[in-house]
Amino acid sequence: MKTCDQIRREFIEFFEGKDHTAVSSAPVVPMDDPTLMFTNAGMNQFKDIFLGTGSRSFCRAVDSQKCIRVSGKHNDLEEVGRDTYHHTFFEMLGNWSFGDYFKREAIARAWELLTEVWGLPKDRMYATAFEGSKKEGLEPDDEASELWKGVTDIDPSHVLWGGKEDNFWEMGAIGPCGPCSEIHIDLTPDGSGRDLVNAGDPRVIEVWNLVFMQYNRDESGKLTPLSAKHIDTGMGLERIVAVLQGKYSNYDTDLFAPLMDHIAELTGKKYRGKVGKGAEIDNGFRVVADHARMLAFAIADGAKPSNDGRGYVLRRILRRAARFGRQHLDLHEPFIYELVPSVAETM
Ligand code: SER
């Protein structure tokens, strides 16, 4: 079985082999962007390139970016713990083209990595393309839909259309944006998951989002074409690790196992991996594990719990972890700090 470290490394090496420059993750606390409370995507550190206000010495990049999604446009907090595949803190594997290759190469490379290098079953993969939006004056992305059928050997009936919510990616209320193609994998035992694409079911999950950056949305909501077209992709490391390790839940992978074991040790309780009704203890494990990672990274990158703004988000997460610990895991003394060595060891 591949380890999480190996999977992260293979992603980066795959794109390095295709002339991408490997860059470091930016901090989770954005250094220079008042529109963002936390880094919410790999593309944040490249926003200036998309907007044409900055440049780099390279036109292709690859990285694994630390992300936090608990405020603003991308906020997954309510899902965390209740399901097995949303996180407040996660790593996003991504590759970028800055005015260099566009849809054709992005689609072909994603398919090559998933199906040729990692050997994921082609008949279990679905790809989506943007169906357009009359309200925004945006046409359907026929080009992406056709490229999926032309440059990959995906089953053509597995190329689906999706609406603005899933297939038009925006960094925030304002900023760079564009239509996207998502790649989903069907993990149902009998391959019957077609209708579960984008239905919030853990058996059919989105693993990779390929964004075709073409516009900037301004304060008035207007879309203006960017001066060049760019590629911005993002794949949740925790999810792809679960898929490649044959696990249904991100919490069953080696990215979480030491932390889950540590929580079991602290509480004397057992994690059974249940979701839904009667899964309070398991929810407690997942919330505490997720929030311990988020807090450790946010504080290490310079944020502090406080009464307002970013600090208040941290305080709420800290309280939420403490509450789940108290209510579901019988933890009545401070305990989150004890988990930090397990986070550090894995990450
Ligand atoms: N920016 C896109 C996302 O976050 C792709 O990286 O999904």
How many Cβ atoms from other residues are within 10 Å of residue 345's Cβ? 10
pLDDT of residue 74: 77
CA of 3 to the centre of ligand 1 (A): 24
Looking at the structure, tell me whether residues 280 and 144 fall in a common domain.
Answer: no
Cα–Cα distances (Å) from 271 to 21, 158, 251, 283, 346, in that order, read 40, 36, 10, 9, 19
Percent of the chain with pLDDT over 90: 93
| C-alpha closest to that of 217 among 165, 268, 170 | 170
Are residue 261 and residue 232 in the same domain, yes or no?
A: no
237 and 279 housed in the same domain? no
Q: Is residue 94 part of a domain?
A: yes
CATH of the domain at 162: 3.30.930.10
| Whether pLDDT at 171 is above 90 | no
Residue 169 Cβ < 6 Å to ligand 1: yes
Same domain, yes or no: 18 and 149: yes
Average pLDDT score over residue span 212-230: 95
Q: Is 41 in the pocket of ligand 1 (CB under 6 A)?
A: yes
CB of 232 sitting under 6 A from ligand 1: yes
Q: Work out the pLDDT band at 320, boundaries 50, 70, 90.
A: very high
Q: How many residues does the chain have?
A: 347
Structural domain contains residue 249: no
In order of 4, 126, 224, 232, the CA distances from 93 in angstroms are: 12, 19, 28, 11
Predicted local confidence at residue 177, as pLDDT: 96
pLDDT at 34: 83
Q: How many domains does the chain have?
A: 2
Residue 328 and residue 307 share a domain:
yes
Is residue 202 located within the same domain as residue 160?
yes
Q: Whole-angstrom Cα distance, residue 271 to residue 257?
A: 11
The answer to the question of residue 251 being in a domain is no
Select from 214, 244, 274 the last residue of a domain: 244
Q: Which atom of ligand 1 is nearest to the CA of 67?
A: 4
Q: Among 79-88, 150-159, 180-189, which is the least confidently predicted range?
A: 79-88
Q: Write the CA distances from 231 to 49, 99, 153, 172, 302, integer angstroms.
A: 11, 8, 21, 17, 30
Residue 81 lies in a domain: yes
Q: Which atom of ligand 1 is nearest to the CA of 92?
A: 6
Confirm if 72 and 36 have CB atoms less than 8 A apart: yes
* Cα(124) to centroid(ligand 1), Å: 22
Residue ID of nearest Cα to ligand 1 atom 1: 41
pTM for this entry: 0.95
Q: Are strands 60-68 and 21-22 parallel, antiparallel or unpaired?
A: parallel
Last residue of a domain, one of 215, 244, 273: 244
Q: Does residue 283 share a domain with residue 144?
A: no
Q: Say if ligand 1 is within 6 A of residue 209 CB.
A: yes
pLDDT band at residue 31 using 50, 70 and 90 as cut-offs:
confident
Residue 184 has pLDDT above 80, yes or no: yes
Q: Taking all residues of the chain, what is their mean pLDDT, rounded to a whole number?
A: 96
Is the model's pLDDT at 202 over the cut of 90?
no
Cβ of 233 less than 6 Å from ligand 1: yes
Instruction: Give the nearest ligand 1 atom to 210 CA.
Output: 5
Q: Give the range of the structural domain holding residue 331, as residue numbers without chain letter.
A: 256-346
Residues 218 and 293 reside in one and the same domain = no
In this predicted model, what pLDDT tens digit does every residue of 93-148 receive, in sequence order?
999 999 999 999 999 999 999 999 999 999 999 999 999 999 999 999 999 999 99
Of 193, 209, 244, the position where a domain reaches its end is: 244
Residues 278 and 211 grouped into a single domain: no
Q: Is residue 78 over pLDDT 90?
A: no
237 and 289 in a single domain? The answer is: no
Confidence of residue 179 (pLDDT cuts 50, 70, 90): very high
- In ligand 1, the atom with minimum distance to the C-alpha of 40 is 4
